Structure 1
Amino acid sequence: MKLTEVFITEHGGVYQSDSESCWYVDFAGKVARFDYRCLLKLKKAVYTIDVEAILLKSNKSADIEIVFICACDDSYVLTVMEIVRFKELLQGTFTMLELNHIIYDRLHRLAV
Structure 2
Amino acid sequence: MKVVFQSKFYTLYQSDKEKCHYLDMNQKTIKLSFCQFLALRSKVRNISIEEHFDSDLNKHGFEVLMLCNKEHLFVLNTVELLDLKSLVEYSFISLDVDHIATTS
TM-score in same-fold range (> 0.5): yes
How high is the TM-score relative to the length of structure 2? 0.87
RMSD: 1.9
Which of the numbers 31, 45, 48 marks the counterpart of 1:47? 45
Structural mapping, 1:1-112, within 5 Å: 3-58=1-56, 61-69=59-67, 71=69, 73-105=71-103, 107=104
The Cα of 1:29 is off from its aligned counterpart by 2.1
Instruction: Report how many aligned residue pairs link the two structures.
Output: 104
1:72–1:59 distance in 2 versus 1, CA, 3 Å: closer
Structure with larger Rg = 1
- Give structure 1 regions of 4+ aligned residues with deviation exceeding 3 angstroms: none
How high is the TM-score relative to the length of structure 1? 0.82
**Whose RCO is larger (CA < 8 A, sep 6+)?**
2
Structure with the higher fraction of residues in helix conformation: 1
Q: Is the 8 A contact 2:14 2:21 kept in 1?
A: yes
Which consecutive residues of structure 2, in runs of 5 or more, have no partner in the other structure?
none
C-alpha offsets along residues 56-93 of structure 1, whole Å, 9 cap, x if unaligned?
A: 13398221111124636223211111110101111111
Which consecutive residues of structure 1, in runs of 5 or more, have no partner in the other structure?
108-112
